Structure 1
Amino acid sequence: MDKDGMFKKLFNAFIEANSSGQKQKIQHDCVSFWNSIKTAPDFVRLYNAKKAELEGTTRKRLISSFFLSKNENIPSNLKSNDISCGIINSCSSTFSAVPSTASCSKLTVSNDKCPAQKQLTEELNIINADLVGLMARDNMRILTAKQKEEMDTKKARKRQIEKDIIKKKLIKSVRRNFVLTRKKYCKKRHVSTVPVKLIRATNDLHRQHRDTKFATDTVHHLCELASFFGPANTTVISQDDKCRVPIGITAAKMQAPMLMHMEYRVRLPDHDWVIGDRHKLIPSVYAGLVISENGYGAKEAVTYSGPTLISIRSGKHSSSNAMSHARDFERLMKLPEFDTITKTMDQNAKPIFIFFVDGGPDKNPRYPHTIQSAIRQFKKYNLDAIFIATNAPGRSAFNQVERRMAPLSRELSGVILPHDFYGSHLDINGKTIDEKLEILNFEHAVIAEYVCPERSEIDLIDTACIDEKWKMNHIRSSQYFLQILKCQDRTCCTEPRSPFFNFFPQRFLPAPLPLVYSPSISIAKSTEDVGKFMSLFQNEAFANRTLPYDFHCPSVSSTVPTRVCIDCGLYCASLEMLKSHRKSIHNRIVNTKKKPKKIIKKRNEELLVQLDDDVEWMNRENVECIEETEEDENPVINEVPIIFIQTHLESIWEEDC
């Protein structure tokens, strides 16, 4: 006998019979009645006897119906005793409000008012239960590729269900709170206007990339290395560029909030475009990261706090590239605020420098100018090692400097600086007619130090002493990582100033290796195996020195064999570097020309080309001829006449005499 189901039907019958009563009292009466009958010595016989007695009574049919649903095969000749009838008749007054047409079919009607939301909730509970098991397998490193795909699918479905549930709740709340009366005067009582400020679009949903875990593992290795050697030997700097700040006329939507009487007519500019071509300022942010003492290799020891340097350049007369960042580094080394980050107790540069940079085509670690500027710093400051790393494309928001840039982003959002403080340097069509005056107007808009175009970039190093043999002994490059270290030849490099080579006698950091459990522990053999990358010192224990650093990088794993020198086994980050290496070291000429999908931009002897999955700067001699897209050095700007704000605000109303 299903007592739970019978009690539920009994409770529904009490509610139907007393629809106007309080639910708490109804529940109390129902529980009292149930407790009195379920303890009877002859419970089943009691119900069957009551069934036979109440068949002719319409008012009592509702109570007897739920007994009939469970006991249809009971013989009809069973008779009830007087005591049993008295127990049930004692509560007959509770059902005095039941209509004569009431039937047991009403008891089976579902009371769910939101079936769609209930269905979503049940599906969400099932998904959560499945994810618990899948995540447990993932933590134990026994998750297969198919299960990994299933877990990602369930997570995506879970996010969608949670959004749907929130949306349904909001719709329900809006309908409940904004049902207004038809009387127009009463409607006004529900309306209250307040000043609001809309935020600009955010990029919370970053673009996913298949190299994210690989590049992130390199960043974690460098943080562990900085923590292990401590702040006495290591400097960590994170750098990136902010969005460019336009210089022009401030638009109406950027004004401060104000209250005004509507009898006055106010006219403000209705545009916020830049007045002239490339009239923008480029803020470059450099964050020195403080390393906690006694980190013992924990990557969390590299904190987000420390001094910050912001260099601002003209977007028209200067550019942000590897050479401009090198110039800013020279300035950074002279600032007293960075002495605790960059210098030792004797005011010399710390022996190990780590840079986290942007992954742009002219700033990434494999770009030739980035390598040349790193060599300059390495030789000038007598460093033991210099490491430059970046995140995967689309994931630069995880750079540590982004936390420093967040307050700056808020203040610069929507800001447009004045363009004609010293007088207009533009003609009526917005073209520059006075370059000297233009530079003065750019400089006036900057409160901090302004970098003049003539001093914006640092000169390239003399490559006479930096040949391919020197690079072969000191440099290892890869897709997202650059290493420059001292060699063991004391006629070439001085004695090390840090204990780095005592713990890494092989000098260069090995390639990241992912571990898999299938069923025993092993190293993943390809990028298709789902594994977890090891920590720095675990990786050092399993290291295979002959393995190229990008062997487990998903986006370039297929092209790794083509970037390895067949004579000495050296891995190069690009075909251009491989060509130069084989030509100088092995006296072999290699055809490394590539046919890009598109030529985006030209700069001297370099071309910014679009390849399969990336955008890179390449020398003209290494690019196959295709239809080139010439970029006009002086592009035609919009022929929009300039109306100054004083003229635009002149009143059109005439005063009455």
Structure 2
Amino acid sequence: MAPLSHELAGLILPHEHYGSHLDCYGKTVDKDLEEKNFEYAGTTLPSIWNSLKVDGYDVNSEYIAPKEDDSNNAQILIDDWYYEHVRESQYLLQILKCSNEDCCGQTRSSLRSLLPNGFLPPPIKLQQTQNGLRVSQVNSDDGTYLNLFARLAVKLQPEAADFQQIPYDWFCPSVHDKLASRTCKECGIYHTSNKTLLQHLKNLHPKRKKKDEVVRRIQPTRIAARRARELLCILGDEKAGTENAEWIDDDEVDGSFENEEEDVAYRL
């Protein structure tokens, strides 16, 4: 992506080339015009990229207009691929070839002889006690993180009865209290944001999503901004005394909080 992104430096794609499709709150009021403006942006990019060569190969790109019913099916395919190939954590994103050669081709390394599922295991901090090696407490300064080979050799794990697998961010104190709410109860996959978890539930576990809809609907402290169909939600953590900001689809946000319009600081 680096050569492609380089060519876009300084490029401005106006969202209202054929006229604005948004109202004063940034919500779409003319879907046909929105699609026409999006198509203009989509056709502009190939006109720039098709003059490039990457590693000696010509770049051939084209804009393909979406079909009426393709968007949801495409998102399901994306989420299914993401589930097989990607693992999230607060400071690390792992993207991996799967073992299906029809999907990713033949594996050229011996990675899976070292890591059976391909992904790096979550880091574990251990300390030596009178009773032998023990897993350190999350907020403790005692203990040492193991290197990869020692980590694979030592089979000790933190006590985490509520998790199918240890989230990669287990020893990240700033997010430890959020691990349970960001982990899929169906498959045990951890997500670094409520938004990606909700998308995962919606497309891969629709029955679970329907069951947990009321519980999972996000309740922000306030709304800082909005763009199109997304809200910039300020999410407070009372225990840590901190706040995080996430762009979340407006239909995934609990609308029961009061004075929403007064809380909007700015709109994009």
- Shorter-normalised TM-score: what interval? 0.5 to 0.7
Q: 1:620 aligns with which of 225, 237, 250?
A: 250
C-alpha change, 1:470 and 1:317, in structure 2 (3 Å) is: closer
Q: State the 1:556 CA deviation.
A: 1.3
Q: Which residue identity is paired with 1:539?
A: R
Give CA-to-partner distance per residue, 1:69-93, whole Å, 9 cap, x none.
xxxxxxxxxxxxxxxxxxxxxxxxx
Query: How do residues 382-401 of structure 1 correspond to structure 2 at under 5 angstroms?
Result: none
- 2:266 counterpart (614, 631, 634): 631
| 1:386 paired residue number | none
The residue identity in structure 2 corresponding to 1:631 is Y
**Unpaired runs of 5+ in structure 2?**
16-44, 58-64, 158-163, 237-241
Q: Distance in 2 between matches of 1:537 and 1:500?
A: 13
Question: How far 1:316 moved relative to its partner?
Answer: 9.4
Determine helix, strand or coil for the equivalent of 1:617.
strand
- 1:144-183 aligned within 5 A: none
1:516 and 1:573 map into 2 onto residues whose CA distance is 28
| Partner Cα distance (2:234, 2:227) in 1 | 15
Counterpart contact for 1:527–1:557, Cα < 8 Å: no
Q: Secondary structure at the match of 1:496?
A: coil
1:155-195 residue CA offsets vs partner (Å, 9 max, x unmatched): xxxxxxxxxxxxxxxxxxxxxxxxxxxxxxxxxxxxxxxxx
Match of residue 578 from structure 1 = 197
- Could you tell me how far 1:310 is from its partner in structure 2? 8.4
Are the structure 2 counterparts of residues 500 and 602 from structure 1 closer, same or farther at C-alpha, using a change threshold of 3 Å?
same
| Equivalent position of 1:470 in the other structure | 81
Q: 481, 495, 511: which is aligned to 2:106?
A: 495
Q: Distance in 2 between matches of 1:566 and 1:316?
A: 40
Determine the C-alpha separation between the residues in 1 that align with 2:80 and 2:13. 39
- In structure 2, distance between residues paired with 1:584 and 1:315: 33
The TM-score with structure 1 as length reference comes to 0.27
Amino acid across the alignment from 1:596: P
The separation in 1 between residues aligned to 2:178 and 2:7, in whole angstroms, is: 38
Q: Following TM superposition, by how much is the alpha carbon of 1:476 offset from its aligned partner in structure 2, in angstroms?
A: 1.5
Could you give the per-residue CA deviations for residues 383-402 of structure 1, whole angstroms, max 9, x where no partner exists?
xxxxxxxxxxxxxxxxxxxx
Q: What is the rounded CA distance, in whole Å, between the counterparts of 1:619 and 1:553 in structure 2?
A: 27
Offset, 1:475: 2.1
Structure 2 matches for 1:570-609, cutoff 5 A?
A: 570-586=189-205, 587-588=207-208, 589=210, 590-591=212-213, 592-609=216-233
The structure carrying a bigger strand percent of its residues is 2
Shift of 1:582: 3.3
State the shift of 1:619 in Å: 1.0
SS across alignment from 2:104:
coil
- Counterpart amino acid of 1:610? I
- Residues 515 and 632 (structure 1), Cα distance of their counterparts in 2 relative to 1, 3 Å cut: closer
Contact 1:602 1:630 in 2 (8 A): no
Change over 3 Å in CA distance of 1:538–1:522 after alignment to 2: same
Distance in 2 separating the partners of 1:578 and 1:311: 31
Q: TM (normalized to structure 2)?
A: 0.59
**Deviation per CA, 1:207-264, whole angstroms, max 9, x where unpaired?**
xxxxxxxxxxxxxxxxxxxxxxxxxxxxxx8xxxxxxxxxxxxxxxxxxxxxxxxxxx
How far is 1:537 from its partner?
A: 3.0
Is the contact between residue 593 and residue 624 of structure 1 (CA under 8 Å) also seen in structure 2? yes
Cα RMSD between the aligned structures? 4.2
Structure 1 contact 516–529 (Cα < 8 Å) conserved: no
Q: Which residue of 1 aligns with 2:180?
A: 561
Give the drift of 1:466.
1.8
Percent identity between matched residues is 30
- Name the amino acid aligned to 2:198: K
Cα deviation, 1:287-340, whole Å, max 9, x if unaligned, reads xxxxxxxxxxxxxxxxxxxxxx6863268959xxxxxxxx8xx97xx567xx5x
- What amino acid maps onto 2:138 in structure 1? S
Q: 1:537-575 deviations in whole A, cap 9, x for unaligned?
A: 333333659211121111111121222222332222233
**Matched residue, 1:517:** 128
Q: Which residue of 2 aligns with 1:539?
A: 151
Q: Deviations over 1:39-69 (max 9, x none)?
A: xxxxxxxxxxxxxxxxxxxxxxxxxxxxxxx
Structure 1, unaligned runs of 5 or more: 1-236, 238-285, 287-308, 319-326, 340-346, 349-458, 634-657
The alignment partner of 1:466 has SS state of helix
How many Å separate the matches in 1 of 2:247 and 2:178?
18
d(CA) in 2 for partners of 1:478 and 1:527?
18
CA contact (8 A) 2:182 2:197 kept: yes
Distance 1:473 1:615 in 2: 27
Amino acid at match of 2:168: Y
Partner of residue 61, structure 1:
none
1:313 aligns with 2:13: no
SS in 1 for 2:231: strand
2:246 aligned with 1:611, yes or no? no
The within-5 A match list for 1:224-623 is: 312-313=9-10, 339=55, 463=74, 466-519=77-130, 520-542=132-154, 546-586=165-205, 587-588=207-208, 589=210, 590-591=212-213, 592-612=216-236, 613=242, 614-623=244-253
Q: Shift of residue 618 of structure 1?
A: 0.9
Q: Secondary structure of the equivalent of 1:313?
A: coil
Cα pair 2:84 2:98 within 8 Å, conserved: yes
Q: CA offset at residue 485 of structure 1?
A: 1.7
* Equivalent-residue separation in structure 1 for 2:191 and 2:252 (angstroms): 15
Give the C-alpha shift of residue 477 in structure 1: 1.6
For the residue of structure 1 that corresponds to 2:9, the secondary structure is: strand
The alpha-carbon distance between structure 1 residues 597 and 532, as it changes in their structure 2 partners (threshold 3 A), is same
Aligned partners of 2:76, 2:204: CA distance in 1, in Å? Answer: 15
CA distance in structure 1 between the partners assigned to 2:134 and 2:115 by the alignment: 23
- CA deviations over 1:599-642 (Å, ceiling 9, x no partner): 22211111112222321111112222342316356xxxxxxxxx
Task: Please report how far the alpha carbon of residue 522 of structure 1 lies from its aligned counterpart in structure 2 after TM superposition.
Answer: 3.0
Q: How many Å separate the matches in 2 of 1:510 and 1:606?
A: 34
